[in-house]
Structure 1
Amino acid sequence: MSGQEKFNLLSFSGKMKILHLSWMAFFITFMVWFNFAPLLQAVKESLGLTSAEIKTLLILNVAFTIPARIIIGMLTDKYGPRLVYSALLLLCSIPCFAFALADNFVQAAIARFALGLIGAGFVVGIRLVSEWFPHNELGTAEGIYGGWGNFGSAAAAFSLPTVAVLFGGENGWRYAMALTGIISMAFSWVFYRNVTDTPKGSTYFKPQNLGAMEVTSKGDFFLLLLMKIPMYGAMALLVWKLSGAGIGLFQDSVVFGFYTLLFGLYLYEASQVWKINKGVFSRPVPKIHRYQFKQVAVLNVLYFATFGSELAVVSMLPLFFSETFELTPVVAGMVASAYAFMNLMSRPGGGWLSDKFGRKSTLLILTAGLAVGYFLMGQVNSQWPVWLAVAAAMVCSFFVQSGEGAVFATVPLIKRRMTGQIAGMTGAYGNVGAVCYLTILSMVDYSTFFYVIAGTAVIGFVTLLVMEEPKGQIAEVNDDGSITMIDVAKN
């Protein structure tokens, strides 16, 4: 079986081929998703946009990703990663081309909002990698997938301005954008032709229902409904930022309409949760099929603090270094990029530590380090030597990204057939964190911003105390009614 093959990063066959194609797909989704920021100034001048309109495009770029990660997670569990990832890469090339051809703000805004969908690609690979790797290698494999794929955003920042200059003229940015769309479209075909959902002879377990996440107890039913609220809250926060109180794009009547829509969608989703899980109120779920939703809730909180803070900090760090140490924008950008570079090793490192020393103990240590790291960042001021401030940022970055790796080393061990849905919800919480942190940043100074993140990491540490280490096996039901036991830890 595939799991018995040696873990050799230089190999491109069997499970290693799947790992490499997965991180490449994720790398491309992030390159497409973040292709706007490095070309922002050129787009602003070419389309004659105001600063408020540019801020709006940046908000729209992440707005759709929160619900998209939930939806894509469900579709992945139902239809398999091969089909869903291939379709996503192909489909999202369309808004990428649309943005490259945009002539005005409205066209650019619609394309940017639609491109938020590609930010959901991450959750597809989490399920695919979990199908191919045994539990003792899973954290390392998921860490490599997440860390190397995540680097797509940094690759876009380094390469796209150069591509734009090579094509030249005021339309250089359009060619650079379109190129990322062509790469996405081409890799869609490569992925579809070369990937299978499981190793030969293995079963791909699917959820019984597509409409909502299954839970296995009454308490978990209410906890699931509670954990849905912050996701709608974050989308409401994005609407608020586009309202008169924020950058003034929407009138009050439109804002009220969006709030009403979000409330209606929450009620609809709550009804779907009831429809699929009402059985837990009339008869207990057999013990062999139970899982604890509190495990998911804890991972959500931790990813809020880790990936949420990473997205927020990456977007503000160049400005922070520039203003604190009076650096030129170019030097500040290069210094701040050290934070993103840590992803290549830190995220796989967090997964590897989880495989070696246990999921919960690794998460406890990394979350404590996260809190200390951000507290240290809050102390940075102009009196510090620049090298020491960069060192503090890199130490903080190690704990942030290792923590992300450790979170997704645990996600696939909760309930195999729902891995896409669980990864989708946890991934969405990362975006929720980013929205919350960036909103806080707009209201407070830099040191308070870092202290707030440190505080949420402490909350994450406390919630971790109630999480139980995944152990033994999880049961999944085959189509013929027989049961397969899947190892999640050493017995």
Structure 2
Amino acid sequence: MKTQVSKKATALKLTNLKSMPIRTFWITSIAFFICFFAWFGIVPFMPDVVKDLGLTPEQKWNSIILAVTGTVFARLLIGKLCDRFGPRLCYTYLLILGAIPVILLGFVQTPTQFLVCRLFIGFIGASFVITQFHTSIMFAPNIVGTANATSAGWGNLGGGANRLGMPLIAAAVVSFGVADEMAWRYSMVIAGIIAMLMGLVYFFFTTDTPEGNFSELKAAGKMPALKKDEESFLEVLKDYRVWILFVVYAACFGMELTVYGTMDDYLQNNFGLTRSTAGNLVLSFALMNIFARTLGGFFGDRFGKMKGLRGRVVFLTLILAAEGLMLSAFSMTTSLAFGLVFLIAFSLTVQMAEGATFSVVPFINKKAIGSISGIVGAGGNVGAFLAALFLKSKSAMAETHAISVNSALGEEAVKAAQSTAAATAVSGGYFVIGIFVVISALTTLAIRFSMADERAVEEEMKAELTLSRSTD
């Protein structure tokens, strides 16, 4: 089979904005950042929302679950749409339409309205799939893992940056005379408007591929017809490797979302930290995405260069197993100093595992990168959903028992017993999750590539490097 030469970037030269792949890398990373910023933008304001709307603890928890649930379905759908219509149009519509529930959140008056908006806001979490798809088709095999990991890692920063950014937006709003209790509403409206404007930037300043947009390439006969796309999607569903990576991403990104979502309370209950200190620690771990996820893609590319596609899988196995061991070790520590060491190690390895996963994804099926990215990306949210339910059930049972046993000892004793019970339950949950991650790591060894796949990647890499040298 003859290798088709494209204009993919063979190096991540971040200052070369004249290059369409590099320009796309920056725009898609910023778009992803904005989406995550808006997706989790309400989190810093939850105490205000609970007071304003009168949310019950159950409704507050359900809003978190709904936001994750909406993302699962959106990611499954958006991958297929990317294969059909291209990432440029998909991201444009996602940003503009996804901004609507973000803006509407600023106008909700009842808990039900709040929950509905949270469900639909979760759809912008599908931006991850488009980002990974777009960088996958813009960069050559030698650098695609690093590009994917870096764009995703920098985009994920939006999920941590909102802890700092949204209060700053609220403070700016208040300085214009808006009442404090209304600031969260104005902040969400502003976040939504920013997302909508970014949709226009995506439309006018990117192209689907280095050679042009899907519509132009299909009109010129340089892309397969939609019928072939549909056939390739059926092949994706039958490919066991896709479902292994689905589980793998549940075991890394899904566990990161769940662990960090419960870590504030766990650090307070288990180590006696203040809410402010615990929150700052969790924020600092989230900010590790700026380099940790890139490292996963970088080493995935390095192992791929040394050992081919099999090398990428081996590295994914090793780093995922390390993630599970670090989480289980953290769950057993009673010392804050040792706990932080293992928590830092977990943060590093879980984010590297995410980057390593998407250093493998682009090579499963070149004809359906979007569909595969969507399925694997959805795995992360499915993992987060199931792990959250698991921890919630363990914690709820333990806390209920502690309250009933200590109810006659006074309010302070009940709170102390409840806190201890919650910490013990979550600790046990973390240990079980860590074991699940290790088992998931072992399943990656079943991923196989044919000799034809290995040769095709080698030929593509040689062709891309030759073209790159000739155009430099």
> 1:71-125 CA distances to partner (integer Å, 9 max, x unpaired)?
1111111000000001100001111111111111122122111111111111111
- Aligned partners of 2:325 and 2:435 also within 8 Å: no
1:325 has 2:271 as partner: yes
- Cα distance in 1 between the residues matched to 2:192 and 2:458: 39
% identical equivalent positions: 31
Number of the residue aligned with 2:324: 371
Task: Note the residue ranges of structure 1 that are not aligned, 5 or more in a row.
Answer: 225-292, 476-483
2:164 maps to 158
Match in the other structure for 1:463: 443
The farther-off stretch of 110-119 and 52-61 is 52-61
Structure 1: how far apart are the matches of 2:297 and 2:50? 40
Say whether 1:353 aligns with 2:299: yes
Match of 1:214 in 2: 233
The reply to whether residue 394 of structure 1 matches residue 371 of structure 2 is no
SS of alignment partner, residue 2 of structure 1: coil
Structure 1: distance between partners of 2:248 and 2:299: 17
Amino acid paired to 2:43: A
Determine the structure 2 residue equivalent to 1:407: 357
Instruction: Tell me if the contact between 1:471 and 1:489 (Cα under 8 Å) persists in the aligned partners.
Output: no
Deviations 1:373-420 (A, max 9, x none): 112111122xx1x33322211111111110000101111111122111
**CA separation of 1:487/1:143 partners in 2, compared to 1, >3 Å: closer, same or farther?**
farther
The answer for the alignment partner of 1:266 in structure 2 is none
Pair 1:186-2:197 in alignment = yes
Question: Does residue 1:119 correspond to 2:125, yes or no?
Answer: yes
TM-score by length of 2: 0.81
Give the Å deviation of 1:157: 1.4
2:426 maps to which residue?
A: 446
Distance in 2, matches of 1:411 and 1:366, equals 16
* 2:13 match: 8
Q: 2: distance between equivalents of 1:295 and 1:427?
A: 14
- Identify the residue that residue 410 of structure 2 maps to in structure 1: none
* In 2, Cα distance between equivalents of 1:371 and 1:407: 15
Cα distance in 2 for residues equivalent to 1:147 and 1:391:
22
| Residue 362 (structure 1) aligned with residue 315 (structure 2) | yes
CA distance in 1, matches of 2:283, 2:428: 22
Distance 1:107 1:387, change over 3 A: same
| 1:312 Cα deviation after fit | 0.1
Deviation of 1:43 (Å): 1.2
Structure 2 counterpart of 1:190, one-letter code: V
For residues 259-287 of structure 1, give each alpha carbon's deviation from its aligned partner in whole angstroms, at most 9, with x where no partner exists: xxxxxxxxxxxxxxxxxxxxxxxxxxxxx
Q: Distance in 2 between matches of 1:125 and 1:204?
A: 21
Give CA-to-partner distance per residue, 1:130-174, whole Å, 9 cap, x none: 111000000000001110001111111111123223323210001
Higher alpha-carbon deviation: 301-310 or 194-203: 194-203
Deviation of 1:7 (Å): 2.4
Measured against aligned partners, the alpha-carbon deviations of 1:198-220 in whole angstroms (never above 9, x if no partner) come to 1127855566366686345xxx8
Match of 2:374 among 416, 419, 424: 424
Alignment of 1:68-79 (within 5 A): 68-79=74-85
Higher mean C-alpha deviation, range 53-62 or range 461-470: 461-470
Residue equivalent to 2:256: 310
Q: 1:66 to 1:134 in 2, by over 3 A?
A: same
Read off the aligned partner of 1:105 and give its amino acid letter.
Answer: P
Point out where structure 2 has 5 or more consecutive residues left out of the alignment: 1-5, 175-179, 305-311, 395-424, 464-472
Match of 1:102 in 2: 108
Correspondences of 1:329-344 after superposition (within 5 Å): 329-344=275-290
* Alignment check: 8 A CA contact 2:10 2:143 kept: no
Verify the 8 A CA contact 2:86 2:208 in the aligned structure 1.
Answer: yes
Report the Cα offset of residue 490 of structure 1: 7.7
Question: 1:6: how far off?
Answer: 4.1
Q: Distance in 2 between matches of 1:349 and 1:79?
A: 31
After alignment, is 164-173 or 122-131 more displaced? 164-173
Q: Residue 37 of structure 2: which of 28, 31, 40 is its match?
A: 31
CA gap of 1:399–1:193, structure 2 versus 1, over 3 A, is: same
Q: Is the 8 A contact 2:250 2:384 kept in 1?
A: yes
The whole-number CA distance in structure 1 between the counterparts of 2:341 and 2:14 is 29
Q: Provide the C-alpha distance between the structure 2 equivalents of 1:373 and 1:472, rounded to a whole number of angstroms.
A: 37
Deviation of 1:470 after TM superposition, in Å, equals: 7.2
* Structure with greater helix share of residues: 2
Q: Distance in 1 between matches of 2:163 and 2:227?
A: 42
Q: Conserved in 2, the CA contact under 8 Å of 1:308 and 1:433?
A: yes
Moved more, 197-206 or 314-323: 197-206
Residues 166 and 336 (structure 1), Cα distance of their counterparts in 2 relative to 1, 3 Å cut: same
